[in-house]
Amino acid sequence: MDRLAGQISASHGRLHPAVEPFARHMIEVGDGHTIYVEECGNPEGRPVLVLHGGPGGGCSPFMRRFFDPGHFRVVLFDQRGCGRSRPTACVQANTTPHLIADIALIRARLGIDRWLLFGGSWGATLALAYAETHPDHVSGLILRGVFLGTQSELDWFYGGGAARFFPDLWARFQEPIPQAERHDMIGAYHLRLFDSDPGRQARFAQPWLMWENALAGLQSQATSHAPADYARAFARLENHYFSNRCFLDEGQLLRDRARIEHLPAIIVQGRYDMVCPPIGAHALAEGWPGCDLRLIPASGHALSEPRITAELAAVMDGVRDQDRSRKTPR
């Protein structure tokens, strides 16, 4: 979930200046996939891995700006099938375990021992799944708009829960689907997004994208079309993962939380997040001694929400300041 990276505006004054990567890589990960990886900031700095939303959202330059480039070594990558990774929109050998293996390969290839994970929405899902698999290589987690990959969350967004607040937008999402198939919107869209006709795929990608896009921001309801290639990749990958329940056991991320409870975590969660309601973030944080849940007032889901943006920037500056204070001799 979460395709909105947002545009930088005056309200985003706390962000760091835009920087260009000091290194770019195209890494073959097997199964015919090649993934795009970039490194920004300080090559000798504290490593941070940025995990984008979707699945299928890809990274954007906006995501680089949450990190002081003098302190952090920021690693971003486009997950299989999206962004600058190839082949585009490919769902073969594209599962959560594959993505976890890709992250492990990137870490080894870049010579990083432990890194901080920074992810929102589906990026938070993947951060948790990776951390629970490889806790020894994680120094902490910064999560936003938590999505645990559960059936209840999918039912909320695609089974009529969020529709109670946005009946007009839900009707628009349902409109291309015959009445007899509307009891299973993920399945109905799956048939069309994986049709043999690429044109038909593209036509159904737009309403899939627009439904999520419209609910991501608290103040605005975006209805504009995205570029066709982007929409097709995003919709196919997201639908593929959701059709397979994110390739996770039901409740897996909460079940295995004990593996990461020794790690520090901060969760930044919009109080009025309609894509990933706060109950998931609350369940994740409850009983985790080192987890700081911050419910942000008057905010929705998107990374570009002004208060969400400001809080995440402050969190990362706080991490930087703590790192520096530990290195200051007494």
Catalytic residues: 121, 273, 301
* Coil/strand/helix, residue 243: helix
- 143/119 Cα distance (integer angstroms): 5
How far from 327 is each of 17, 313, 316, 322, 323, CA to CA, in Å?
Answer: 25, 22, 17, 9, 7
Tokens matching residue 135: 């806790």
Q: Nearest 10 degrees: CA dihedral of 262, 103, 49, 276?
A: -80
Q: Extract the runs of DSSP E, i.e. beta strands, from the chain.
A: 23-30, 33-41, 46-51, 72-77, 115-120, 138-144, 265-270, 291-296
Of 216, 233, 221, 215, the residue nearest 304 (C-alpha):
216
Instruction: Give the distance from CA 152 to its chain's centroid.
Output: 18
- 151/138 Cα distance (integer angstroms): 27
Tell me which H or E stretch contains 312: helix 306-327
Of 86, 92, 67, the residue nearest 15 (C-alpha):
67
Taking CB atoms within 8 Å and a gap of at least 24, the contacts of 178-182 are: none
The answer to whether 301 touches 121, Cβ cutoff 8 Å, is: yes
- 35/57 Cα distance (integer angstroms): 14
Of 126, 151, 158, 118, the residue nearest 274 (C-alpha):
158
